[in-house]
Amino acid sequence: MQKIIHITDPHFVAPGKMLYGIDPAQRLCDTLDHVSRVHADAKLILITGDLADTGDPAAYVLLREILSDVRLPVYLTIGNHDNRTAFRGVFGGEGFVQAAVDLHEWLLVLLDSKDDISPGGCLDGGRFEWLQEQLVRGADRPVVVAMHHSPSDLHVPCFRTCDMKETERFFSIVKKNASVRHMLFGHRHVAAAGSLSGISFTASRGTAQHIVLDWEQYGKPIFVAAAPSYDVIMLDGTDVVVHRHEGLDLLPVIRPGDPK
């Protein structure tokens, strides 16, 4: 069994600034501290985009400083709020922010779904071809695909449609390879799970602002400062199990459990 940690949407701002009255950096630090205490046996941490709220280079510098103290390997990709050039200027490298991570029994494919001309997602510029290549190489193992945008409508009232381009092409690629067992997304700031085109997925709420599921509200989404959230992905054989931490340490204990 292998365990990976899925964190998303930290929305960092420059040091000393706040976002909607919250401190994104402190919220991510609290999350990482919880991960280090409870899930030190995890293989890696995955952060799926919207690393910075406006793509400010100072926000990426702050993120880099915080992640430098994390003992687990951390893999990053970017979202619609990010600036790829600014990210690369701080974290190094070039081109799209994506990776294929060999987990021995499993393969994790992390995609850069940022569109440079709109807030929506896309995989053009060679990214579809790169995804196809990774899936062919990993055909003998179960695969998890992760990216910022969700390639379908999640039926959230204030987000009525999918905002990712060429979703049919995306699913035609991932469905060709029966070894794709699960998908991980961020972006919407809501917790969701289910299947898209027959492939299971989970979408995490993230560590910054969350969006209220108000079923009578169809305009601008309502943001709330709920406790940071992250997911724990258990990969066992060909099975995928996802557990969600949503500020459980803050809940009142009404019956204590047995000690270890």
pLDDT of residue 183: 98
Instruction: Enumerate domains of the chain plus CATH numbers.
Output: 2-247 (3.60.21.10)
| Cut 0.85: pTM above it | yes
Asked if residues 39 and 6 have their Cβ atoms less than 8 Å apart, the reply is no
pLDDT in tens, the chain (260 residues): 999 999 999 999 999 999 999 999 999 999 999 999 999 999 999 999 999 999 999 999 999 999 999 999 999 999 999 999 999 999 999 999 999 999 989 999 999 999 998 889 999 999 999 999 999 988 889 999 999 999 998 888 777 666 799 999 999 999 987 799 999 999 999 999 999 999 999 999 999 999 888 777 667 788 899 999 999 999 999 999 999 998 877 778 777 878 77
Contacts (Cβ under 8 Å, ≥6 apart) of 198: 175
The total of other beta-carbon atoms located within 10 Å of residue 91's CB is: 16
Residue 124: both structure tokens together: 């053009």
Asked if residues 249 and 34 have their Cβ atoms less than 8 Å apart, the reply is yes
DSSP one-letter code for 19: B
* Alpha carbon distance 258, 260 (integer Å): 7
* Alpha carbon distance 175, 178 (integer Å): 6
Give 101-139 pLDDT, tens digit per residue. 999 899 999 999 999 988 899 999 999 999 999 999 888
Asked if residues 146 and 195 have their Cβ atoms less than 8 Å apart, the reply is no
